[in-house]
Chain A
Amino acid sequence: MAQEINKPRPASPPVGNALFSTTVDEDIEPPLALSYLEDQGDKIYTATQWQLTWWRFRRHKMAMASLGLLVILYLVAIFSEFIAPADPNIYDEKYAYAPPQGIHFIDSSGTFHLRPFVYGLKSERDMETMRMVFVPDEETMYPLGFFTVGKPTKFWGLFEMDRHLFGPLDPNAAFFPLGGDRLGRDMFSRIVYGTRISMSVGLVGILLSLALGIFFGGISGYYGGIWDTIIQRVIEFFRSIPTIPLWMGLSAAVPKEWSPLRMYFAITVLLSLIGWTGLARVVRGRFLSLREEDFVLAAKLGGSSEMRIIFRHMVPSFTSHIIASLTLSIPSVILAETALSFLGLGLRPPVISWGVLLQESQNLRAVATAPWLLMPGLAVVIAVLAFNFVGDGLRDAADPYAL
């Protein structure tokens, strides 16, 4: 029995008694004696593989927390216009490098306000360094609220909308929760809009990688022979060259006069070429091990076509592994986009991505006066860590039958 547990196989109710009675015979050993199944009771007899995977994944606390974080990040990416309190391109020289405003409940005289507020900003000359610095103006208070009416924006460029998730009640108030940049644009709103580009580059890039990986890995693993050798060598080639100098060269060749959308796709296609080798290896390995399984032989003898064997019998048994390694390779695409854009070779303004935002921090003096220019970097780190944890959890859960 213990031997069989290790083998992936479709979960099925135990044959015999269970077929005739609705209650499970206590004497029958449960098909899976795994710690994560203890609290599931009789349900384990009928659970599908995906249910088992989910139960196992749920046990990984960090992965669950990170999954929640990723959901939030993608919601931010989808509803950027609604979540960002300001238009990311509206600039006001008056507020260049404005510091982040603290959100207060208690004002300077010690009175408590139920509604949070920020102080206005005023410039003063620092008598020591003779530079203009911002100080909170305790005379003016801008109360904040949820679902405030602000400046109208076009949601996905489709329809006008003036509601925002939160913001100052007065639409003309200066509001910089994470400070302002060189042109006095709101950093927080810019990071929110950057989420859309950065998170989707990861996803779109990795889907292209997946297509390449499954195609080449599948041919390599299923057919073997000369094709396997050739594809393996190509993969080795890709893994032995330093990609960044090469990608810098290729993306520098993308014409500068291309429209932002075209540019975005060109960069995404370039980036997808990074991730596919790892995926192809995983797919190939799975095909190689499954090719020898009895159920594949059975399907072959039963007269199934090649396509049916691949897509009906083989692919479903390693989909979870593919999803796990997909999740683990998204960070490298996000990081590559950030690095290329940071160097000025990837996406370019007016497109807003985290990497484009970080370009501003190349100027050391600017960073010294306005350290909040590094905030987009924090967003990158959070996204990358979240993907890593979810990927780790998925990898552990991908084979729910393993001990």
Chain B
Amino acid sequence: MLQYIIQRLLLMMITLVAVSLVSFVIIELPPGDYVTAYAATLASSGDSVDQARLDSLRKQFGLDLPIYQRYLKWTWDILHGDFGYSFVWNKPVSELIWERIGLTFAISISALIVTWVLGFLIGVYSAVRQYSFGDYLFTTFSFIGLGIPDFLLALVLLWIGFRYFNTNVGGLFSRDYQTAAWSFAKFVDLLKHLWVPLIVLGVGGTAGLIRIMRANLLDELRKPYVETARAKGVSERRLLLRYPVRIALNPFISTAGWALPGLINGATIISVVLSLPTAGPLLLNALLAQDMYLAASFILILSALTIIGTLISDILLAWLDPRIRYQ
């Protein structure tokens, strides 16, 4: 087990370095550097651009160094909590991102839990009552759920809310709480708004899990040992939960590892549509404005946290199911 964890940790280090390289490339890709972009904003707002000041800025940010030194300086600063400077917001990046990233993960992880609970319950129901009306209903639902892109679902919900209920279902907080400090009342307000993004994010994942759970459990229920247990007079409930459900759960749990990246993907897009105060909208605006330090920090942190989350779920899985360790 320890060997497995060490192996995975080493691998994670390499992955993190790779992610940081990609993020750095994203900073470097647009033509010109941070200071040229800054000069362009100054010029567009009518301020005079002083060449000496630009040069000193270049020096301050280390932009006159060769590329590998810039990368090392950038990662070194990040390890010390300095993510660079956002010239659009005129603030250090680290002041802008943490709350939004926290909310992104709060939404994604809540969606994961909702997806699991619903997928499990409906999947078991569908398998036990195969070909019943409910089974057909959920099967249809899961096919549509797999086909509909989440941002489209968000758009449709927004439209229905606006058109028929005359409310805006977007956002995570009521107007009064938007800028308020965290309190219990704000948390309750968050819960009131959270269900829309949870539905939108959860539908696709739930649909997939229902199909996996249903298929696995059906395979299991056809096996002779179930028949034997039934012949011996084991109650249906015990018969179902004692072995078939437990075995069918295995592939179900192993999807947890790659569910997180998908949820972060979804959360990024739908938060733009639903204008949630999460990473998505700020990342999009940063990219469109070529505010590269902000954009790259988002990409780096979202990726890094996802990798760590995946690692934790992998280790938990290996702990639950010894077979994984020896694969």
Contact = CB atoms under 8 A, between A and B. Distances in A.
Interface stretch (B22-30, B113-121, B230-238): B22-30
Contact of B264 (A245, A343, A345): A245
B261 A243 contact: yes
Contact of B152 (A246, A368, A380): A380
B218 interface: no
B254 interface: no
B287 interface: yes
Q: Classify the interface of chain A: helix, strand, loop or mixed.
A: helix
Given A237-B18, A364-B162, A388-B146, A377 B152 contact: yes
A241 interface: yes
A368 to B, nearest CB: 5
Contacts of B29: 250, 253
A237 to B, nearest CB: 5
Given A249-B295, A252-B288, A339 B151 contact: yes
Interface in A350-390: 358, 361-362, 364, 367-368, 371, 374, 377, 380-381, 384-385, 388
A259 to B, nearest CB: 17
B322 to A, nearest CB: 20
Contacts of A364: 158-159, 162, 168
Contact of B156 (A236, A239, A245, A374): A374
Contact of A368 (B162, B269, B273, B307): B162
Contacts of A374: 152, 155-156, 159
Interface string B202-219: 000000000000000000
Nearest to B143: A385
Q: Which of A236, A245, A249, A361 has the most CB of B within 10 A?
A: A245
A238 to B, nearest CB: 10
Contacts of A344: 284, 288
Interface in B278-327: 279, 283-284, 287-288, 290, 295-296, 298-299, 302-303, 306-307, 310
Interface in A210-236: 233, 236
Interface in B72-111: none
Interface residues of A, number: 39
B137 interface: no
B149 A338 contact: yes
A392 to B, nearest CB: 10
Contacts of B26: 246, 249-250, 252-253
Contacts of A362: 273
B272 interface: yes
Contacts of B151: 339, 342
A246 B18 CA distance: 12
Interface of B: 11, 14-15, 18-19, 22-23, 26, 29-31, 143-144, 146-149, 151-152, 155-156, 158-159, 162-163, 168, 257-258, 260-262, 264-266, 268-269, 272-273, 279, 283-284, 287-288, 290, 295-296, 298-299, 302-303, 306-307, 310
Which 7 A-B residue pairs are closest in the complex by CB-CB distance? A253-B29, A242-B264, A385-B147, A252-B287, A244-B265, A249-B26, A377-B152
7 contacts: A241-B303, A243-B265, A331-B147, A358-B152, A384-B148, A384-B149, A388-B143
Interface of A: 233, 236-237, 239-246, 248-250, 252-253, 255, 331, 335, 338-339, 342-345, 358, 361-362, 364, 367-368, 371, 374, 377, 380-381, 384-385, 388
